[in-house]
């Protein structure tokens, strides 16, 4: 099995649903805590209009502060929707760009105001521009396993977008279960089909736990060789442009499961649990994650 890479998205996907705006200083504290715990990639924020997503208004400032005299090996990623976002990212030191296209026409229109075809053209052009600047790029297919508005999404449509990415030379590809509709058998079939298109794909996944299937789908992805996993500290998150929004696979729960299976023991699980507790205190409510409440099973 290839090394499992953990891409922490709590500071972006996790916070975008929160009405209580988090101060920049608090975000920096959490991000530094995640770095110290040993996660591989942290998605610092998204370059969106601050009036539409006020929680992301300080993304430029966060990157500028975090990349100044940076010594951590953790990669700092940012989500962009278009060329304007890329331009902002270039000015503040983004190390890895994430961008994607929805496989649902309804979700695409609600999320970006564009059709699937329009969004695909624009995202590929933006991704190639970022690659030309020497940056790491991950492209995604959102609503890859189903849509809260449209229901089932045909695998052929998802694979069509993936093929467009591959034709453009984009091989770091994530499938996002935006609506949380995925089942383990779907996950296996779709990733197997992608690996048949190109066995050198650097596959990633982003599962939501809307219907309690998050970790089961992660295990299915591991079974077929997916390497990169997007998760959220404390289980926070949800897309505000889908029908039923719910949190991501919980980072500390995922790491706990990995370590019980003998993987990624170098990640400091207790630091992640302490961070989850800090999130619960800050938002003054119980978080979706489990291990921070039950305490972990320690494996020697």
Of the candidates 178, 193, 169, the one whose C-alpha atom is nearest the C-alpha of residue 148 is 178
User: How big is the CA angle at 95 (ends 101 and 169), to the nearest 5 degrees?
Assistant: 45
Chain Cα centroid distance, residue 166: 20
- The answer to whether 98 is a known catalytic residue is no
Which residue among the candidates 92, 147, 205, 239 is catalytic per the annotation?
Answer: 239
Identify whether the C-beta of residue 44 lies closer than 8 Å to the C-beta of residue 12: yes
CA distance 193 to 21: 41
Helix (H) or strand (E) holding 197: helix 184-197
Q: The tokens 């929707």 sit on which residue? A: 81
3-state helix, strand, coil in the chain (%, to 5): 45, 20, 35
Of the candidates 151, 211, 156, 147, the one whose C-alpha atom is nearest the C-alpha of residue 178 is 147
Secondary structure tally for the chain: helices H, strands E: 11, 8
Of the candidates 175, 116, 57, the one whose C-alpha atom is nearest the C-alpha of residue 44 is 57
- Give me 83's structure tokens: 């060329």
CA distance 35 to 118: 37
CA distance 169 to 128: 9
CA distance 73 to 38: 9
> CA–CA distance from 213 to each of 125, 220, 240 (Å)?
34, 11, 20
Q: Which residues are catalytic?
A: 239
């Amino acid at each position: 099995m290839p090394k499992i890479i953990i891409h922490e998205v709590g500071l972006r996907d996790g916070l975008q649903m929160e009405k209580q705006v988090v101060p920049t200083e608090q975000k920096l504290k959490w991000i530094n805590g995640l770095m110290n715990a040993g996660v591989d990639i942290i998605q610092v924020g998204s370059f969106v209009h601050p009036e539409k997503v006020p929680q992301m208004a300080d993304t430029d400032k966060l990157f500028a502060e975090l990349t100044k005299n940076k010594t951590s090996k953790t990669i700092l990623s940012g989500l962009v929707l278009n060329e304007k976002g890329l331009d902002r990212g270039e000015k503040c030191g983004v190390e890895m760009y994430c961008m994607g296209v929805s496989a649902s026409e309804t979700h695409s229109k609600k999320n970006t105001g564009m059709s699937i075809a329009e969004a695909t053209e624009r995202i590929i052009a933006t991704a190639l521009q970022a690659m030309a600047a020497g940056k790491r790029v991950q492209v995604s297919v959102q609503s890859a396993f189903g849509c809260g508005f449209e229901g089932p999404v045909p695998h052929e449509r998802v694979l069509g977008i993936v093929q467009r990415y591959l034709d453009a030379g984009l091989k770091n590809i994530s499938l996002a279960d935006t609506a949380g509709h995925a089942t383990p058998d779907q996950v296996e079939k779709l990733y197997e089909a992608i690996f048949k298109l190109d066995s050198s794909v650097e596959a990633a996944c982003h599962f939501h736990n809307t219907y309690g299937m998050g970790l089961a789908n992660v295990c299915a992805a591991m079974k077929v060789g997916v390497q990169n996993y997007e998760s959220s500290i404390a289980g926070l998150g949800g897309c505000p442009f889908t029908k039923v929004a719910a949190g991501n696979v919980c980072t500390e729960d995922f790491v706990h499961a990995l370590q019980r299976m003998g993987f990624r023991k170098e990640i400091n699980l207790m630091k992640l649990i302490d961070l989850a507790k800090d999130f619960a205190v800050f938002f003054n409510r119980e978080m979706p994650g489990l291990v921070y409440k039950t305490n972990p099973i320690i494996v020697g």
